[in-house]
Amino acid sequence: MKTFFECIPCLIQQSLSAVRLVTGDERIHEQVLREILQSASKMDLCQPPAAMAQVIHRRIRKLCENDDPYRASKLRFNRLALDLLPDFQHRVEKSPDPWDAAVRLAIAGNIMDLGVKGGVGEAEIREVLDHSLQEPLHGSPAEFADAAGRARSILYLTDNAGEIVFDRLLIEHMPHQEVTVAVRGSPVINDATLEDAEQAGLFNLVTVIDNGSDAPGTIIHDCKEAFQRRFADADLVIAKGQGNYETLTDVSGNIYFLLRVKCPIIARDIGCPVGRMVLQPSRKK
Amino acid sequence: MKTFFECIPCLIQQSLSAVRLVTGDERIHEQVLREILQSASKMDLCQPPAAMAQVIHRRIRKLCENDDPYRASKLRFNRLALDLLPDFQHRVEKSPDPWDAAVRLAIAGNIMDLGVKGGVGEAEIREVLDHSLQEPLHGSPAEFADAAGRARSILYLTDNAGEIVFDRLLIEHMPHQEVTVAVRGSPVINDATLEDAEQAGLFNLVTVIDNGSDAPGTIIHDCKEAFQRRFADADLVIAKGQGNYETLTDVSGNIYFLLRVKCPIIARDIGCPVGRMVLQPSRKK
């Protein structure tokens, strides 16, 4: 997906929220703001917004001299999700359609995102997870079950820390010996890395790899070769979150997107309202 | 008021809405966007947002080769306000406190603004005017009446076309032989100019001058000398709208600000919620 004009002020607002979460130093806030305005004035709008976000967050990490400024937030999200997990695991097992419930919770977990909004509280996370079991879903869990059942190799692209715990819950309902989970190559915002996959307990369940990239999405040519091979060989790719949606909608492959819609541009692109849970196969095969 | 960091993405969003209202040509949208990002990256944040908006709208007019791209909108607002006037004039006269009602309608008229939001519809304008007679008001119309009663010369700084018709309604309840109305020196967004003052019927009532500037606010040093003298000599300055608030809060003088709060920065500065009607004397005497 290209960057739309209205993505630019939004990216600038997000950068400001991001740098404020990372440091209280107003001189750094101003420097980040000015640099981002400067680079946005020259940006290639054919690239997805996540490509710009990658550049922005590299610069924030550099200026704050902190390789992983969201580390504490990620740990907090993982712990919260692990605390909530037993209750939701129980509800999935007791559900008349456990697959449907697990899909919904994996999508609802996408609320744990520090990229789009400045922050999200525990109460909101619990409420979103609770409501997800009943609220409207754009897509068909049954067709998605068929696609997963037919695939001999599944590549599952995660999005955020915390959320990854609910990805595990869904993966437990898949033929999980055939699943490879891929996380980001290094820290960017609160996106999940190998450390988060370990905390979520995925290492005992499936093969976990990192994609070698620090983009908050999956920019294929920016990922390491081993990841690119896995991507090309997978029968089914499951891509979580807006960052992966933006960066993979124009890529060929048997891809299912699982996300919560967080902005009007994605809402327009998918054809549903902001806030809606989405389970959508790629239109580009 | 200085420009806060969060004013920048908002100014960029406003510029995009503005240029889209003026032309459908996407190449111009992109050019305006890129130029504004470039100049915002170097802007002096000690200046009020209206100074940046002045530069932006000059550039939009130049690129669109149109000296007054909002002319049709202004005419539409003036006509709508003139259509609504007799009914509201009647309600003011029948009101137990006509001054209070006239003050409220003059403030409510500030809804007719194309600067902050991309547009505002007729239904919303009617509703805002209707509700204004009962809704909470931040400030004291009685103290404002005292200030107006004591002043031997009043300089009334208007904001938008359409709104200026409801300014007339308030001015009719003042010692209007002592009132001078000042409009913008040339077109910027849908801010009122001499043409709008004439359409609103102000020429038969009071002295009307223009301030010589195309800023969507009152940047004193950018205004013509005759205006600056009137400003310095006035016993009381009445300043309508956010643009005049931003540009005059740090200027000495006996100033009353009348506005609807349209953004969280101004809301924080004044200490009331977004949407609230405000009638506030300057803190800087």
CATH number of the domain where residue A181 is located: 3.40.50.10880
By residue range, what is the domain housing residue B50? Answer: 7-63
Q: pLDDT, tens digit, for every residue of A9-30? A: 999 998 898 899 889 999 999 9
Tell me, what's the pLDDT at B64? Answer: 86
Instruction: Give the number of domains in chain B.
Output: 2
Tell me, what's the pLDDT at B236? Answer: 97
Size of interface A-B (CB pairs under 8 A): 49
Residue A29's closest chain B neighbor by CA? B5
Tell me, what's the pLDDT at A31? Answer: 94
| Residues A117 and A212 occupy one common structural domain | yes
Q: Note whether A41 contacts B45, CB cutoff 8 Å.
A: no
Mean pLDDT for chain A overall:
94
Mean pLDDT for chain B overall:
94
Q: Which of A120-129, A132-141, B90-99, B115-124 has the lowest mean pLDDT?
A: B115-124
Q: Where are the alpha helices (DSSP H) in chain A?
A: 7-22, 26-40, 49-63, 71-94, 98-108, 122-132, 141-150, 163-171, 194-199, 225-233, 241-248, 264-270
A12 contact residues in B (CB cutoff 8 A): 8-9, 12
**Whole-number Cα distances in Å, B224 to B27, B160, B184, B213:** 35, 20, 11, 7
Structure tokens at B161: 């076309």
Q: pLDDT, tens digit, for every residue of A207-230? A: 999 999 999 999 999 999 999 999
In this complex, the residue of A9, A30, A41 whose CB is nearest that of residue B34 is A41
Question: CA A15: distance to chain centroid?
Answer: 17
- A36 belongs to a structural domain: yes
Q: How confident is the model at residue A113 (pLDDT cuts 50, 70, 90)?
A: confident
Q: Which amino acid is it at A92?
A: V
CA distance A152 to A32: 45
Q: Note whether A5 contacts B33, CB cutoff 8 Å.
A: yes
Q: Which of B63, B80, B101 finishes a domain?
A: B63
**Contact present, A19 and A60 (Cβ < 8 Å):** yes
Q: Which amino acid is it at B246?
A: E
Residue B11's closest chain A neighbor by CA? A9
- B43 belongs to a structural domain: yes
Tell me, what's the pLDDT at A117? Answer: 54
In this complex, the residue of A8, A35, A38 whose CB is nearest that of residue B33 is A8
Residue ranges of chain A whose CB lies within 8 Å of a chain B CB? 5-6, 8-10, 12-13, 16, 29-30, 33-35, 37-38, 40-42, 45
Q: Note whether A16 contacts B9, CB cutoff 8 Å.
A: yes
- A87 belongs to a structural domain: yes
| Residues B85 and B218 occupy one common structural domain | yes
Tell me, what's the pLDDT at A119? Answer: 64
Sheet holding B277-281, edge to edge: B137-138, B277-281, B255-260, B236-240, B154-157, B179-183, B207-210
Q: Which of B63, B80, B106 finishes a domain?
A: B63
Mean pLDDT of A103-116: 88
| Residues B138 and B194 occupy one common structural domain | yes
Q: How confident is the model at residue B35 (pLDDT cuts 50, 70, 90)?
A: very high
Q: pLDDT, tens digit, for every residue of B206-259? A: 999 999 999 999 999 999 999 999 999 999 999 999 999 999 999 999 999 999
A35 contact residues in B (CB cutoff 8 A): 41
| Residues B154 and B277 occupy one common structural domain | yes
Q: What is the pTM of this model?
A: 0.86
Q: How confident is the model at residue B177 (pLDDT cuts 50, 70, 90)?
A: confident
| Residues B15 and B115 occupy one common structural domain | no
- A1 belongs to a structural domain: no
Q: pLDDT, tens digit, for every residue of B76-94? A: 999 999 999 999 999 999 9
H/E run at residue A255: strand A255-260
Quick check: B118 pLDDT over 80? no
Tell me, what's the pLDDT at A61? Answer: 92
Q: A3, A29, A37: best mutation site toward chain B, by most B Cβ within 10 Å?
A: A37
Q: pLDDT, tens digit, for every residue of A227-277? A: 999 999 999 999 999 999 999 999 999 999 999 999 999 999 999 999 999
ipTM score of the complex?
Answer: 0.84
Mean pLDDT of A164-177: 93
In this complex, the residue of A5, A13, A38 whose CB is nearest that of residue B41 is A38
Min Cα–Cα distance to chain A from B27, Å: 11
| Residues A238 and A135 occupy one common structural domain | yes
